[in-house]
Structure 1
Amino acid sequence: MLYGERVRLRAVERTDLPTFVRWFNDPDVRQYVLMSEPMSMAMEERWFENRLSRTDDYLFGIEAHVGDAWVHIGNNGLHRIDWKSRIATFGIALGEKAYWGQGYGTDATRTILRFAFGELNLHRVELDVYDFNPRGIRCYEKAGFRHEGVRRQAIFRNGQYHDVLTMSVLQHEFMMPGA
């Protein structure tokens, strides 16, 4: 397990799949991730089986410490890792909406970045975020990501085109004292 200040990251298990289906069938959650169509259990099981053999992907369940218990509130991961250039794409989804806007996403992001740079020795972690996700943008900025560019009107959601912002953080930027 990887521990942050308020969260821990753990391996994703097959028993988590019904929770994922519930989260990603919620339009409020789904609008911020790559998928746009509802998900079936069969689709999620196929995805899970396919990712078991991948060597370019780390996926973690995010658990928040609430009272005396740990509650599974979302997932994050490092995807499409290029081991030669030491680059990964970051993704996060907080599926439990009751935990939105409370700093759990920022803590989970910082925790996985410590793993990416301190354990995997990655050089760069990058992401895309939609312009209509100010909460996500703020989370990434607080975790150390910097804006790099904009892909104008690159995603169609909620009946209109939106910009996709590209952000990244480099190992030396994140590992500096105070980061």
Structure 2
Amino acid sequence: MKITLELINELDFSKIVDIVNEYDSDFLVQWAGLTYKYPLSVEQMEEHYNRGINTKEGNAYVYKIKDTELGRFIGSIQLARFDEAKKEAVIGRFIIDNKFRGKGIGQAALKHLVRLGFEQFELNRLKLNVFHINKGAIKCYEKVGFQQIDVNPKLYKSSTGEWWDQIQMLLSKKEWIHNQKK
């Protein structure tokens, strides 16, 4: 399956809401931190992105992950929290529809976003946060070249009473270029 990233618009929020709400409140926290309340709604997303999306003023570029063969929306990923002084941004709100997981789509989408971050946005560093329980995501991030740089222990207590550690990961442009030559 071939995928592409395309900037979303507010009409795509309902597709993201549908994917996220297939899961529980703990999953919502994995996906978006404590930004939203479960169940996710289009109205919550509109309020969160009240400065807009896909603009410098909105400080978030949100992409739909699309199957190029079927033209189908299969997930989303965002690049946000730009720090112009450090030339870095944070990757987040990354989700693949459950029916398409385990097929390498996440890794392909992340590689595409990393390329955009370093080439189009001319960033020097990309960061992301992930909870330690999300082993599949961590494996995906590491395959793309991200490395763990910090851990915030016991950041979130799940509905089952389990404490989750948050792992911060980083990929520098220099490391990314080096990995491209391999």
TM-score range, shorter chain: 0.7 to 0.9
2:136 is matched with which residue?
135
Aligned to 2:116: 115
Q: Is the 8 A contact 1:148 1:167 kept in 2?
A: yes
* CA distance in 2: counterparts of 1:81 and 1:60, whole angstroms: 16
Decide which of 8, 11, 28 is 1:15's aligned counterpart: 11
2:40 is matched with 39
**2:91 — aligned with what?**
90
- For 2:143 and 2:46, how far apart are their aligned partners in 1? 34
Map residues 23-172 of structure 1 onto 2, 5 A cutoff. Answer: 23-27=19-23, 29-33=27-31, 34=33, 35=36, 37-52=38-53, 54-65=57-68, 68-159=69-160, 160-172=162-174
The amino acid of 2:67's aligned partner reads A
Cα distance in 2 for residues equivalent to 1:126 and 1:49: 23
Aligned length: 173
TM-score (norm 1): 0.86
CA distance in 2, matches of 1:163, 1:128: 10
Shifted more, 44-53 versus 124-133: the winner is 44-53
Q: Aligned AA for 1:178?
A: K
SS in 2 for 1:125: strand
- State the percentage of identical aligned residues: 23
Aligned pair in 2 of structure 1 residues 130, 36: CA closer, same or farther (>3 Å)? farther
Work out which of the residue numbers 160, 170, 173 in structure 1 matches 2:175: 173
Q: Which amino acid aligns with 1:19?
A: K
Give 5+ residue unaligned stretches, structure 2: none
Task: Give the whole-Å Cα distance in 2 for the aligned partners of 1:49 and 1:101.
Answer: 34
Displacement of 1:56 in angstroms is 2.5
The residue identity in structure 2 corresponding to 1:139 is C
RMSD: 2.0
User: With structure 2 as the length reference, what TM-score do the two structures score?
Assistant: 0.85
Structure 1 residue runs without a partner (length 5+): none
Deviation at residue 92 of structure 1 after TM alignment: 4.0
Distance 1:36 1:46 in 2: 12
3-state SS in 2 of match to 1:62 = strand
Task: Report the AA paired with residue 98 of structure 1.
Answer: K
* Residues 25, 64 of structure 1: alpha-carbon distance in 2 compared, 3 angstrom cutoff: same
Residue type of the partner of 1:24?
A: V
